[in-house]
């Protein structure tokens, strides 16, 4: 019952409430990033969701579109602003994903949506992570987040899919808040420059 109906109902209630409560902060950050990133406060990227259906993920933009002399982008670290680093450390860059939750692309809790280029590299077990909607936070995020390998994260994701329940989601949400407050397992340098997943 929870998997089919309850989870979605709670997602709508809490994501809607979250957007309302955080609306002043949302507007403030949007304005600041609008000026800082030359009219581009949001970052959009295609990610695979439930049953590998592609959707558009939205986050606050933490890096500027700054090219080098040859016209190519500088490294992620060089393009990440001070405000961007702060948003990553505090996970405030994730706030716009509440809209993804309301739309039904994501859930509050589930496997994090990874890059579409990884899809061909998953084995049959790892593909099970797409049997549920991706989440803003998940089992892997409270069990290491950036301090564990992507292969380990995928194992945690599959375990979550097999054991998803109201009590587990409640535990994950509580521990996520705790980790954000204490900034455990969070690295502001997390970026697309990280080692890509080639499949194992």
* 191 within a domain of the structure (yes/no): no
Q: What is the pTM of this model?
A: 0.87
Mean pLDDT (10-residue bins), the chain, 200 residues? 93 97 97 93 96 98 77 73 90 96 97 96 96 97 85 96 97 92 59 58
Structure confidence at residue 42 (pLDDT): 97
d(CA 141, CA 88): 14
Total tally of structural domains belonging to the chain: 1
Q: Is 47 within the bounds of a domain?
A: yes
Alpha helices in 23-142 (DSSP H): 23-36, 76-79, 82-90, 97-103
Spatial distance between the Cα atoms of 118 and 99, rounded to a whole number of angstroms: 24
Which domain covers residue 168, as residue numbers?
2-182
């Amino acid at each position: 019952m929870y998997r089919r109906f309850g989870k979605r109902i709670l997602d709508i209630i809490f994501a809607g409430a979250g957007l309302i409560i955080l609306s002043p902060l949302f507007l403030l950050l949007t304005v600041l990033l609008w000026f800082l990133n030359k009219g581009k406060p949001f970052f959009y990227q295609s990610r695979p969701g439930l049953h590998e259906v592609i959707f558009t993920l939205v986050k606050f933009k933490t890096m500027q579109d700054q090219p080098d002399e040859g016209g190519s982008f500088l490294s992620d670290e060089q393009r990440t602003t001070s405000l961007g680093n702060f948003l990553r450390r505090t996970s405030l860059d994730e706030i716009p994903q509440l809209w993804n939750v309301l739309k039904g692309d994501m859930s509050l809790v589930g496997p994090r949506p990874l890059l579409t280029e990884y899809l061909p590299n998953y084995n049959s077990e790892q593909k099970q992570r797409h049997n549920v909607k991706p989440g803003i936070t998940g089992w892997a995020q409270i069990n290491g987040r950036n301090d564990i390998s992507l292969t380990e994260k995928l194992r945690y994701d599959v375990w979550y899919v097999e054991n998803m329940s109201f009590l587990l989601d409640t535990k994950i949400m509580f521990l996520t808040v705790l980790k954000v407050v204490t900034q455990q397992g969070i690295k502001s340098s997390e970026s697309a420059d990280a080692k890509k997943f080639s499949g194992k």
